[in-house]
C-alpha cells in the first residue's frame, strides 16, 4: 500500500479533505475566470453577479469574497435552464 493515502487514518482523511477543498476552490476560480461576473459590495455582503437583474441572472453573496465566490459557484451549478 506504499504511496497510497489511507483515508481510514486520521492524517490520510485530513490530507484527502485538503485535496478535495483545493479542487473545489480551483473549480470556483475557473468558473469566475470563464464567466467574469460583476464583483461588488452590496451592503455588508460581497456579491458576484452574472446576467441581467432581476430574473435572468446568477448571483452569489457572502460575508467575504471567498464565501461569495463559493455561493456563486453553487448557484451556477444548481441553476435551472
What is the pLDDT at residue 3?
Answer: 61
Residue-range domain boundaries for the chain: 10-78
Confidence of residue 76 (pLDDT cuts 50, 70, 90): very high
What is the pLDDT at residue 12?
Answer: 78
Q: Cα-flanking dihedrals φ and ψ of residue 48, to 5°?
A: -110, 135
Q: What is the pLDDT of residues 5-50, one digit of tens each?
A: 676 777 777 887 888 888 888 999 999 999 999 999 989 999 999 9
pTM: 0.76
Between helices 10-35 and 65-78, what is the axis angle to 10°? 80
Q: Under CATH, which architecture does the 10-78 domain have?
A: 2-Layer Sandwich (3.30)
How many other CB atoms are there within 10 angstroms of residue 73's CB atom? 22
First to last CA, the chain: 45
pLDDT at 75 over 90: yes
Amino acid at each position: 500500500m506504499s504511496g497510497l493515502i489511507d483515508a481510514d487514518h486520521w492524517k490520510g482523511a485530513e490530507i484527502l479533505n485538503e485535496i478535495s477543498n483545493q479542487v473545489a476552490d480551483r473549480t470556483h476560480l475557473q468558473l469566475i475566470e470563464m464567466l467574469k461576473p460583476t464583483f461588488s459590495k452590496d451592503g455588508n455582503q460581497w456579491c458576484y453577479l452574472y446576467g441581467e437583474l432581476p430574473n435572468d441572472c446568477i448571483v452569489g453573496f457572502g460575508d467575504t469574497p471567498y464565501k461569495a465566490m463559493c455561493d456563486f459557484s453553487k448557484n451556477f451549478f444548481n441553476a435551472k435552464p
